[in-house]
Structure formats: C-alpha cells, structure tokens
Amino acid sequence: MEKAVSATVPQVGIQVKKRENRYRKYWPLLTMMAPGLLYLLFNNYLPMLGIAIAFKKINFAKGILDSDWVGFKNFEYLFKTSDAFIITRNTILYNIVFIVLGTILSLACAILLNEIKNKLLLKFYQSIITLPHLISMVIVSYLVYALLSADTGFLNHTVLPWFGIKDGISWYTEDKYWPWILTVVHFWKSVGYSSIVFFAALLGIDEEYYEAAKLDGASRLQQIRHITLPILTPVIIMLTLLSIGRIFYSDFGLFYQVPMNSGSLFNTTATIDTYVFRGLTGNGDIGMSTAAGVYQSIVGFLLVMLANYTVRRYSKDSALF
C-alpha cells in the first residue's frame, strides 16, 4: 500500500510541473488577451446586471435596488402600444434587406477588388469605398438633406427639372420614398467596409486553383462560381449568422438622424431603437427602454441558436459551434 502511494506522488508532481510549464508557455498570449478580456468583462458582462431594471419601476429617490418590482408591465407597455406592429415590421424587413443585399454587394465588391492587379489603383479604390464608413451619420444626414431639401435640394432644383418635374417633391413629408432612400444610404456607407472581410478571405485562396482552372479552359465567371464562392461559403455563413443575431436591432443614426426625426415619416422610418429613444427622452421611462433591450437580446440569441442549428444540420464545418 505504501509503495502504491509513493509511486503516485511523483506522478502527481510531474503533472503539476507539466501544467505549470504549459501556463508558462502561454503566458505571453494570456497577457495579450488580458486587455480584451477586461474590456469584455466591464463593457459586456457587468452591465448585464442592469437587466433587473426591465422588471422595476425606477424611482431615483429609492435607487435601483430598492425600486418597486412591476414584473412584466414594462414589456406589456412595449407590445400593447398601437405602434408595436409598425416598429417590429420595419426593424425586421429593413434588416433582412440589409443582410441579403449587403452580403451580395459586399461579396461582389470584394471580387471586383480582387481583379485589380495594379497595387496603386487597388489602394486608391479601397480608400474610396471605405471612406463613407468613416463619416459620422450626423454629417451623412446633412449630405442627404443637401440632396433632398425642398427649398435648396440638389434633386429638386437640378435633377428633377430635367425630367419635367418642376414643382419638386417634398421628400421629408412623403414616407413612400424613404425605404429606398434609407437602403441606398445604408449600402453607400457600409458596403465598402463590409467587403474587407471577404477581400481578406480572397487573398488567402491559393492561385494554383485558378491556374488549374485556366488550363481546363474555365472562364473568369466559371472560376468565381466554382472556386471563389465555394471557398468563401463558410465566411458568408458565419457573417450571416452574426447578422441574424442583430436582426431586431437597427442603425440608430440611419433611422433617426437621416430622416431628421420627421414625424410624418414614422410609418417607414420608425424602428424599435428609435421608438425606445423617443419614449426615453419624452417620458423618461427607463424601465420600458431596458425591457426593449432585453427583448432584442433574447430574440437575437434565439435566432442565432436556431440559424446555427439549421446550418449545422446541413454542414457542421460551416456552423459557428
């Protein structure tokens, strides 16, 4: 018995030393990870404790912890309003269009950039298409206003008269045009930046695939169809899954700043985010705005799980987990 115990003690010591060596080996990587992990902890996880606000009627005199519990009344207020259908419909439909068309346009943009062999021209085009992403949405809203203003807008005073429309269009009072306007502005601002991921993936494709295809007589379109797209499929699926998780969120600047918060455009520009912001600034209802954030997060999580499960059934390698 004593011999068995004495034999196991050295083995335990060896395992401890191996574990220490392993941590010592990866210590530089763990040190590099520390700032990112601390950021995630303080910015993403600790604020989750604020979920309790969604189930309380906040009284600043009592404080958050001592405020009265109201259960799901904040959620009822969000969904019983007559505008619930409009804001939910707009949020979902806009995001579906942005995900589908955005993926197609970003992929096409990356493929076109990959066809440019001149390095100077490539850097020039990359700079041009990514520049809109760096422009503040407030500035974008005034650029759009310079185009659409009823009094001094470029379209009303320069473009439309060419087509025989002399009276112009009151863009900021007619909501039927804004689904198109917001879609164009969104893609103008985001497609170039979104294409960077696809372009980086294209640079990792071995040129020998294309050379072999050329020898077999494949055209450039056939090479893109049978080589480029299949290789990029996992990247496309991954980005789509991540986008699905935020399908109940919207670009606040796009839907609030660009339409200039015009009430007459509510039917086509209001989303969950802008509605909550208006409720927060108008009524000061923090509980309702927090409930909307919890609702968006839970639905986004369920959608990611469902989409990942669907992808995993057909291709395990393409799923996120």
Is residue 20 pLDDT above 70, yes or no? Answer: no
Tell me, what's the pLDDT at 38? Answer: 93
Mean pLDDT of the residues in the chain: 84
pLDDT digits (tens, 9 = 90+) for 216-250: 888 888 988 888 898 888 888 888 888 888 888 88
Q: What is the DSSP letter of 319?
A: S
Tokens of 57: 């009627």
Q: How far apart are CA 120 and CA 170, in angstroms?
A: 43
154-163 contacts at long range (C-beta below 8 A, 24 or more positions apart): none
Is residue 300 pLDDT above 50, yes or no? Answer: yes
pTM for this predicted structure: 0.81
Q: How far apart are CA 236 and CA 168, in angstroms?
A: 42
Q: How far apart are CA 20 and CA 12, in angstroms?
A: 12
User: Phi and psi at residue 221, in whole multiples of 5°?
Assistant: -65, -40
Closest CA to 229 of 83, 110, 88, 101: 110
Alpha-carbon separation of residue 83 from 20, 87, 274 (angstroms): 59, 6, 12
Helices (H), 53-171: 73-80, 84-114, 119-130, 137-148, 154
pLDDT digits (tens, 9 = 90+) for 306-318: 888 888 888 777 7
Q: What is the average pLDDT across 43-65?
A: 84
Q: How far apart are CA 241 and CA 247, in angstroms?
A: 10
**Contact between residue 97 and residue 251 where contact means Cβ atoms under 8 Å apart:** no
Q: C-alpha dihedral over 116, 118, 120, 121, to 10 degrees? A: -40
For 53-82, give one letter per residue: b (16+ CB within 10 A) or e.
Answer: bbbbebeeeeeeeebeebeebbbebbeeee
Is residue 19 pLDDT above 70, yes or no? Answer: no
Closest CA to 135 of 95, 188, 178: 188
Tokens of 16: 């401890």
How is domain 72-318 classified at the CATH fold level? MetI-like fold (1.10.3720)
- Helix, strand, coil content of the chain in percent (nearest 5): 80, 0, 20
Is residue 2 pLDDT above 50, yes or no? Answer: no
Check residues 163 and 37 and name the one with the higher pLDDT: 37
User: Phi and psi at residue 57, in whole multiples of 5°?
Assistant: -100, 105
Q: What is the average pLDDT across 80-104?
A: 88
CA angle 67, 68, 69 (to 5 degrees): 120
